[in-house]
Structure 1
């Protein structure tokens, strides 16, 4: 399976935490038999600090390493996006604009969009889950026809279009013809979302990132997708904090 902007995420073997300002930051200690030295990464997407440990490294040594780099970690964490939970009155990004979550117990149960507002009734306790489901449905309704239309242009079959919530990719295309996307793309501008669709559809022809692939992706996109890729690099992490409580 090929993906756009894949990030490796090996399993953590231990999970202490750090308190940085008003944030409690999980720390993942990753054992890697091929690592030659201890390395440190502050992941702005997952909101965690990851330490890769070479063989025979002790937990005590790892914690001392973390403490020695606390200032570096604090500087990175300060730049992380803030969580944007789905709460009554919240304003969230949507399709290049904003949506106001207009919840009231007096509103009719369900969710109805009226221009830049989502009119939401029902129980407040279920608000977050229902908004998430609404956004996922909106994402699928957008990317599925776009995917099938581009695939038809190049005479390729799409078995299925799906939306999920991966941490390390915006889209993926399997050898079986299943094309998947992050539902969070509906929070991004339309041109950014379409560039990911063009990228994944191009993989139906070229299961690699070679020269011919990039030429087809640019053709399907209607031009070089560098601007859209740049937008994702700059703003993509913040999309992963939309709907999160912490």
Structure 2
């Protein structure tokens, strides 16, 4: 199923049928696709009719959302990543090595991504490997400083979340955290570490997070402001 916008853009429609859902709802995903959540027995015809009724709203949303961009395109415009609380300049090099790897130059100020084949898939894979290493180190730093113990850490390609904390004290983090500013990366990590003590978003959780990050309100606002754009990196 597709939605054809007023500008002629062909937008994929993903339909999610849910038991217990009474209403039809639409939103845009981070690949700028239309996500339709509908009651279990809703026919494709009725979904299409509902989408057509929402045409004006969808057209307005599609004009406002940031474009989906490759990681290659993003780094060409923003050649930097975050690790250890610092911003590193990023340089991509073609390598004669059989396996992609990364190293540091200029006293650690430059991250060099060395790729046997310089293409989007290889760049994504290596960046995710770097993100795993960098985020593991930063979590360990904060946990030691705050005297916290955590479980396994996974770094994945979440569809919308920056991070989560499980009841087993495991942390799941979005690899795109290496693309945000250091203080915003730290905010997300501290948010998830606070869940090790408070597995909810009640008053005690927010009081604890305020103690961990006194500027958390400003950091939340800054992350909200850039989140829609960053969540669309590497999804094309």
- Normalising to structure 2: TM-score of the pair? 0.80
Cα distance, 1:227 vs structure 2: 1.6
2:227 aligns to what?
Answer: 236
Gap runs ≥5 in structure 1: 1-15
Gap runs ≥5 in structure 2: none
- After the TM superposition, which residues 80-159 of structure 1 pair with which residues of structure 2 at under 5 Å, given as runs? 80-87=65-72, 90-92=76-78, 94-95=81-82, 102=92, 108-109=96-97, 110=100, 111-112=102-103, 118=112, 120-124=114-118, 127-159=119-151
Distance 1:205 1:121, change over 3 A: closer
Of 64, 67, 75, which aligns to 2:49?
64
- After the TM superposition, which residues 1-246 of structure 1 pair with which residues of structure 2 at under 5 Å, given as runs? 16-20=1-5, 21=7, 23-43=9-29, 45-54=30-39, 56-87=41-72, 90-92=76-78, 94-95=81-82, 102=92, 108-109=96-97, 110=100, 111-112=102-103, 118=112, 120-124=114-118, 127-221=119-213, 223-245=214-236
The answer to whether the 8 A contact 2:14-2:33 is kept is: yes
Return the alpha-carbon distance in structure 1 between the equivalents of residues 77 and 182 of structure 2.
19
Q: Secondary structure at the match of 2:27?
A: strand
Deviations 1:143-185 (A, max 9, x none): 2233223323443322222211111311111222222210101
Return the alpha-carbon distance in structure 1 between the equivalents of residues 90 and 8 of structure 2.
26
Cα distance, 1:87 vs structure 2: 4.1
The answer to whether the 8 A contact 2:113-2:126 is kept is: no
The answer to whether the 8 A contact 2:31-2:235 is kept is: no
Cα distance, 1:82 vs structure 2: 1.7
The answer to whether the 8 A contact 1:170-1:181 is kept is: yes
Distance 1:182 1:121, change over 3 A: closer
With CA pairs under 8 Å and 6+ residues apart, which has the higher RCO, 1 or 2? Answer: 1
- Normalising to structure 1: TM-score of the pair? 0.77
Tell me the C-alpha RMSD between the 2 structures: 2.8
Deviations 1:75-127 (A, max 9, x none): 111222222224488334633969666455xx544455655675645224xx2
Greater displacement, 110-119 / 135-144: 110-119
Distance 1:30 1:84, change over 3 A: closer
